[in-house]
Amino acid sequence: MLGEEHALALAARRQERLRAVADKARVLGSPDVIFIPTDISKVEDCERFINEAVDHFGKLDHLVNNAGIVQVDMFEDCKPISDSATLTNTNFWGSVYASHFAIPHLRKSKGRIVGISSIAGWCSVPRMSFYSASKAAITSFYETLRAEFGSDIRITIVTPGVVESEMSQGDFASKAQLDFFLAESTERCAKAIVDSACRGDRYLVEPSWARITFLIKVLCPEVMEWWLHRVLVAKRSKKSN
């Protein structure tokens, strides 16, 4: 999937995970891989990451903003409420910071930004109010940048459905609910994202059947809200009782 011609700069907080991903990329044929421990919720870390990547490779062709965390709680149970800033700082501001420092280099290379939003950004998923809001903000942010950049920098906005990952484990949903939502593997989703960016797509909804949720949201929002409440709130409340 990475291809022999793709050199990579990887950024994340967990250094051991970064090293493992870098090793796998080399095995798959990437000619040059560096990893830079980074907390993308911090503006200075994002600036350092972009600068180190450009210093190493001499240019920047693509920026993929994939970092994200999830908080699963009814809004009224989010206490202290200020703790939710950690999520918005990572999911939204991390992408903003990285994009800001990457823009001069991407403009030179006529490059591309790949922004990872979520189906939760338009479905407004119960018990994930801050996550849904952060992903809606990501979509709006990159659509605005696309209007500002014109053809200077291309942007692919990715809207995944439920993906089997660390984020979809634990309190997010039961195994039965993940099966019900047809959770997709990380490998298949990642391949779809790479292919979409290479094609130059403006948007990617993955899996493609998830597009129907947008139509339901627009045409009959009451049905969408009723269904989400029934599946993710009412049934869970009965089970807890």
At residue 22, φ and ψ (nearest 5 deg) are -60, -45
8-state DSSP, 166: G
Cα separation of 74 and 72, whole Å?
7
Q: What angle do CA 119, 120, 125 make, to 5 degrees?
A: 140
d(CA 212, CA 205): 10
Task: Classify 82 as helix, strand or coil.
Answer: helix
**Catalytic residue numbers?**
131
Tell me if residue 33 falls in helix, strand or coil: strand
Q: Residue 127 corresponds to which amino acid? A: R
SS3 220: coil
